[in-house]
Amino acid sequence: MGSEFDFSGALITYISVIGSLLFAIITVSVAGSFVVGGKTGPLAVLSILRLAVEDWLSTSPRRIWAITKLTILEAIRRKALLVGVVFAVLFLFAGWFLAQPASDPEQQVKVYVAFVMRTIAFLIIPMVLLLSCWGIPEDIRVRSIHTVVTKPCRRQEIVIGRVLGFTAIGGLLLAIMGVVGYVWILRQLDAKGRERLVARVPVYGKIAFKDREGVDQKQGINTGDEWMFRSFIEGGTKSRMIWNFEGLDAFNLETADHLPMEAGFQVFRSYKGNMDRGITCQILVVNPDTEKRAVAPLVTSRDQAGKIEQTDNAFEVKEFRENLLQLARRVVDDEGNELDLFKDFVSKGRLRVEVLCLPTQQYIGAAGPDLFVRLPDKPFVVSYAKGLLGIGLLTLMIVVIGVCASTFVKGPVATMTTFFIVLVGATGRAFLDTIVDAKWVGGGAFESIYRIFAHLNPQTELPSTLPFKVMQLVDGAGVGFLRSVRYLFPDFKFFDLTPYVAYGFDVPWTNPVPPNSGALLPSLIITAGYLLPWIVLGYFSLRLRELEAK
């Protein structure tokens, strides 16, 4: 759907960025050392590379674990874990302010779950940021690092050990706070609210529309909303909202007596009508291969034993809440033939569903995610744990950036740098992308400057003589540089999984819904991709500097 995370594209970009970065670094250092030191310069660069390879080949898990353990012990003995206590106290008081027992259970769940997860994130993130940015600089300042690096401890082991240690602290806090938060949510909710704690597993379809003449359209009607996320169909016409579902084989089709779906349609009334009754809609199921179609009977009541007692061919849209729809398996078509929803309409896991609105001059509207097949729910704990894992991955990223920054500069500067990178990564990546990927009218910086002084408008062709060629080449390099630099900022939007959990959905691995929001696999991949380069950078920084407090 929409912008899925493009894995192969990401991998290619990754390799090309890392490759060009390496190439640039090596070229610059070889050339620079040649200028400074003559022939011995490049040789020195080579010997540094050789030493680096040796160092990395001698990496020892035992030494890494020693540093990790040291880091954890330090945090514990220096009472950094007091934050956990702060968190518990905060929960005790937060109940008073958030208490709203009268509001509906769904709203309660949203508020409490979001509150707990955001609080956890906002407590852990600043703490690991500070810890990771001050660890190594403090080690250098009091020179305890001298006793470590005069042992056979390799510099990358220090970096990795520190990263693991701080992440472990973050993880530990995350686990403790997660459990406390979970218990707190359970206690705050009444019985009805607790029932709403679910992790729904949706299968989304691709949406399409037909207008009132029955002609295919990408979108429905705009009823005057500026934001065209949802578009509408008119009642009593040939207008339709159509969803094409795939991958329904995941649902156990053999034993079920219905297909569970959930709808969240919006209503637009052009006249008031009976406000006590909702707008009625109908659902048609269509076999995408044979085009066989029928009205789907919806289960309205079941007997004691749970068998279907009654079905209805239409349903009323209740706005601003989920409408649970059970499409009965037994379907009767226009000619009165009895059919099987799963056998006669689902074909290779695909099913088309068409929704129409019955009353004339009333409208219903929806966007892609507003109708989905609801696979059997997972326990709430699952989505909650996945949401926490998202916070954990974010923690790891911040730790890696913080530790790497702290190998270059002192604590305060490292903190500012890391904070800046996280801030840009969390809020400004999209903006950066639009700037860098935009087509630059009138060329890059130097060309623009030239055009301003030469009073040339952006469309004027420049003479293709050497000076202009060089100018454009330099500009091109500048843009290329900017394009690479933006990758310094990891795209943190993928890490925010809280909305899924709060809204009662399972956290998806891929295919984020809505598009451009979080998902687990992209955040895992981003983390993995950034981990090594940052660590290598930290290694070289520690290796090439005198570890003397200045």
Partner 1 sequence: MESESVIEIRNLTKIYRDFWGRKKVRALNQLTLDVKKGEVFGLLGPNGSGKTTTLKLLLGLLFPTEGEVKILGEPATNVSKNERIGYLPEETYLYRFLNAEETLDFYGRLFNIPAQVRKDRAKELIEMVGLKHARRRQLREYSKGMTRRIGLAQALINDPDLILLDEPTSGLDPLGSRDMKDLIDKLKEKGKTVVMCSHLLADVQDVCDRIAILFEGDLKVLDRVDKLLVDEGVTQLKTSQLPENVIREVEEVLKRHGASLMNVDHPTSNLEDLFIKTVRESKERPGQRHVADGKPTAAS
Q: What is the binding site for partner 1 (CB under 8 A)?
A: 51, 54-55, 58, 60, 62-63, 65-66, 69-70, 73-74, 77-78, 142-155, 546-548, 550
Distance, CA of 345 to CA of 331 (rounded, Å): 10
Identify which of residues 33 and 108 has a Cβ nearer to partner 1 in the complex.
33
Smallest gap from Cβ 50 to partner 1, in A, equals: 10
Burial environment of residue 306 by CB neighbours within 10 A (0 to 12, 13 to 18, 19 or more): exposed
Enumerate the β-bridge partners of residue 379: 198
Identify which of residues 60 and 100 has a Cβ nearer to partner 1 in the complex.
60
Identify which of residues 411 and 425 has a Cβ nearer to partner 1 in the complex.
411
Provide the 8-state DSSP code for 513.
S
Q: At what angle do helices 380-408 and 155-188 cross, to 10 degrees?
A: 150
Smallest gap from Cβ 414 to partner 1, in A, equals: 16
Identify which of residues 147 and 337 has a Cβ nearer to partner 1 in the complex.
147
Smallest gap from Cβ 63 to partner 1, in A, equals: 5
Classify 216 as helix, strand or coil. strand
- Please state whether beta strands 362-366 and 231-234 pair in parallel, antiparallel, or not at all (unpaired): antiparallel
| Phi-psi group of 34: left, alpha or beta (phi > 0 → left; psi -120 to 50 → alpha; rest → beta) | alpha
Distance, CA of 355 to CA of 34 (rounded, Å): 72
282 — phi, psi (to 5°)? Answer: -130, 150
Identify which of residues 153 and 296 has a Cβ nearer to partner 1 in the complex.
153
Smallest gap from Cβ 539 to partner 1, in A, equals: 12
Identify which of residues 55 and 322 has a Cβ nearer to partner 1 in the complex.
55
Smallest gap from Cβ 202 to partner 1, in A, equals: 49
Smallest gap from Cβ 152 to partner 1, in A, equals: 5
Identify which of residues 77 and 307 has a Cβ nearer to partner 1 in the complex.
77
Enumerate the β-bridge partners of residue 269: 362
Identify which of residues 109 and 145 has a Cβ nearer to partner 1 in the complex.
145
Classify 182 as helix, strand or coil. helix
Smallest gap from Cβ 59 to partner 1, in A, equals: 11
Distance, CA of 336 to CA of 330 (rounded, Å): 12
Smallest gap from Cβ 137 to partner 1, in A, equals: 15
Smallest gap from Cβ 6 to partner 1, in A, equals: 41
Show Cβ contacts of residue 17 under 8 Å, excluding neighbours closer than 6 positions.
484, 487
Distance, CA of 33 to CA of 27 (rounded, Å): 10
Identify which of residues 79 and 272 has a Cβ nearer to partner 1 in the complex.
79
Using alpha carbons, select from 513, 498, 399, 526 the residue that is nearest to residue 178: 498
Distance, CA of 57 to CA of 115 (rounded, Å): 46
Classify 441 as helix, strand or coil. coil
Enclosing H/E stretch for 498: helix 498-502
| Phi-psi group of 504: left, alpha or beta (phi > 0 → left; psi -120 to 50 → alpha; rest → beta) | left
The answer to whether 523 and 495 have CB atoms below 8 angstroms apart is yes
Identify which of residues 113 and 148 has a Cβ nearer to partner 1 in the complex.
148
Distance, CA of 173 to CA of 123 (rounded, Å): 9
Distance of CA 296 to the CA centre of its chain: 35
Smallest gap from Cβ 532 to partner 1, in A, equals: 20
Q: At what angle do helices 105-141 and 82-98 cross, to 10 degrees?
A: 160
Distance, CA of 494 to CA of 264 (rounded, Å): 25
Identify which of residues 34 and 65 has a Cβ nearer to partner 1 in the complex.
65
Give the max Cα distance, the chain: 93
Using alpha carbons, select from 153, 145, 163, 164 the residue that is nearest to residue 58: 153
Provide the 8-state DSSP code for 211.
-
Distance, CA of 344 to CA of 433 (rounded, Å): 47
| Phi-psi group of 515: left, alpha or beta (phi > 0 → left; psi -120 to 50 → alpha; rest → beta) | beta
Enumerate the β-bridge partners of residue 332: 338
Smallest gap from Cβ 123 to partner 1, in A, equals: 23
Classify 18 as helix, strand or coil. helix
Smallest gap from Cβ 135 to partner 1, in A, equals: 12
Identify which of residues 350 and 543 has a Cβ nearer to partner 1 in the complex.
543
Smallest gap from Cβ 544 to partner 1, in A, equals: 9
Identify which of residues 67 and 259 has a Cβ nearer to partner 1 in the complex.
67
Identify which of residues 65 and 446 has a Cβ nearer to partner 1 in the complex.
65
Smallest gap from Cβ 65 to partner 1, in A, equals: 7
